[in-house]
Structures are given as C-alpha cells and as structure tokens.
C-alpha cells in the first residue's frame, strides 16, 4: 500500500535530480527495497515518507556522482547542488517540518527568539531590530548567530527537506 501510494510522486521527485524517468524509477525501487531491508531499525517516530525522501535524495546524489566519474561532460558539479522545487504534493512532510521549525524556535531564549522572529519572519534588518529593541547592532548580530547555530543543530536531520521546501538558515 505504501509503495502504491507514494511510488509515482517519489519517481517525479527523483527525476528532478537524475533527469531520466527510468533511472528515477530504479532509484525509488531501490529506496523501497532499502526500507524493507532496514524495517527493523527504522525510527518509527519519523514518517516513512521522510525516510524515503532522504534515501532517494542520497541515492540520486550517489548516482550523479557515479555518472560523473565515467563521463565528466554529463554533469557539472553545480547540478549536484540544485534542489528541485517542491510542488506541494506532500503536505504531511511540510506540516512535520514546520512543527520542527516552530519547536526549535520555541526552544530559543526569549530575547534571542524575539530577535530571530523579527529578522526571519518580519524581515527587519539588523539596524531596524536594534532601533526597535533599543539594543546595539552587535547584540542583534550575536543573537541571530546564536539562533542560527541552534536551528542548524536542532534541524540537522531535516537539512535536505529544508532545502527542498526552500527554507534556508543563513545569515542576512
């Protein structure tokens, strides 16, 4: 049932990397086989779709690297860094990801969280935040740096999904 409900969507996801539907199908089939073989050790607290998405991403990247070894003209290195646009088909993963982000933000100290939200969600520049909160720009920089470090650690297992969904936690 899992295979039938997710196979086509995962093939489309893989095809965005490998640019060939037959290869994408093979990669997705391999991911399902890996899932079956590792079924006893998989963390069931995480959705299976998240596991499959990560596995397929890794298998696609490995496939592209292997192709590059044999024919350097097929791929240029930057294609490995291109992340396909998310088409919105999997709202469950998106909801889980948003919950993890919200949880990580909630774990921040109060002032750090306030500064992070002003910067990331209200799009205020460092100087604007400093003026609004009557603190120095250096304090804002320090708190944003602290928040980003916390977010990177808290969301490390979701890096691929963050890239797919278009979230990016880098300095502004």
- Quick: pLDDT tens for 46-57: 777 777 888 888
Q: Are residues 70 and 7 in the same domain?
A: yes
Read off the pTM: 0.44
Q: Are residues 74 and 138 in the same domain?
A: no
Q: Are residues 76 and 11 in the same domain?
A: yes
> Which residue range(s) make up the domain with 160?
91-165
Among 3-7, 126-130, 143-147, the minimum mean pLDDT is found in 3-7
Among 52-56, 134-138, 146-150, 154-158, the minimum mean pLDDT is found in 154-158
Give pLDDT, residue 160.
57
Q: Are residues 139 and 116 in the same domain?
A: yes
Is the model's pLDDT at 170 over the cut of 60? no
Q: Are residues 123 and 141 in the same domain?
A: yes
Q: Which CB contacts under 8 angstroms, 24+ apart, belong to 144-151?
A: 144/115, 144/116, 144/119, 144/171, 144/172, 145/171, 146/108, 146/112, 147/105, 147/108, 147/112, 147/113, 147/115, 147/116, 150/104, 150/107, 150/108, 150/112, 151/101, 151/104, 151/105
Give pLDDT, residue 161.
55
Is the model's pLDDT at 18 over the cut of 70? yes
Residue 170 lies in a domain: no
Q: Are residues 77 and 141 in the same domain?
A: no
Q: Are residues 66 and 97 in the same domain?
A: no
Which of 81, 99, 129 is a domain's end point? 81
Specify the number of domains making up the chain: 2
Q: Are residues 71 and 125 in the same domain?
A: no
Give pLDDT, residue 154.
82
Residue 116 lies in a domain: yes
The CATH number that applies at residue 159 is 1.10.10.10
Which of 32, 50, 81 is a domain's end point? 81
Mean pLDDT, range 161-166, rounded to an integer: 52
Q: Are residues 77 and 97 in the same domain?
A: no
Residue 30 lies in a domain: yes
Give pLDDT, residue 129.
94
Residue 115 lies in a domain: yes
- Quick: pLDDT tens for 78-89: 344 444 444 444
Which of 53, 81, 109 is a domain's end point? 81
Q: How far apart are CA 139 and CA 141, in angstroms?
A: 5
- Quick: pLDDT tens for 30-72: 988 888 888 787 766 777 777 788 888 888 888 887 776 555 5
- Quick: pLDDT tens for 92-105: 666 777 788 888 89
Give pLDDT, residue 75.
42
């Amino acid at each position: 049932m899992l295979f039938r409900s997710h196979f086509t969507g995962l093939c489309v996801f893989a095809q965005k990397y490998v640019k060939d539907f037959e290869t994408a199908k093979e990669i997705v089939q391999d991911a399902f086989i890996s899932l079956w073989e590792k079924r006893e050790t998989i963390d069931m607290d995480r959705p299976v779709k998240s596991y499959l998405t990560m596995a397929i991403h890794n298998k696609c990247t490995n496939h592209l690297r292997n192709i590059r070894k044999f024919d350097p003209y097929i791929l240029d290195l930057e294609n490995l860094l291109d992340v396909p646009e998310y088409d919105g088909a999997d709202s469950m993963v998106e909801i889980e990801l948003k919950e993890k982000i919200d949880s990580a933000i909630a774990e921040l100290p109060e002032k750090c969280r306030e500064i992070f939200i002003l910067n990331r969600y209200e799009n205020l520049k460092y100087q604007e935040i400093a003026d609004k909160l009557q603190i120095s720009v250096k304090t804002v920089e320090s708190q944003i740096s602290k928040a980003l470090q916390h977010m990177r650690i808290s969301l490390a297992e979701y890096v691929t999904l963050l890239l797919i969904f278009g979230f990016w936690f880098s300095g502004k």
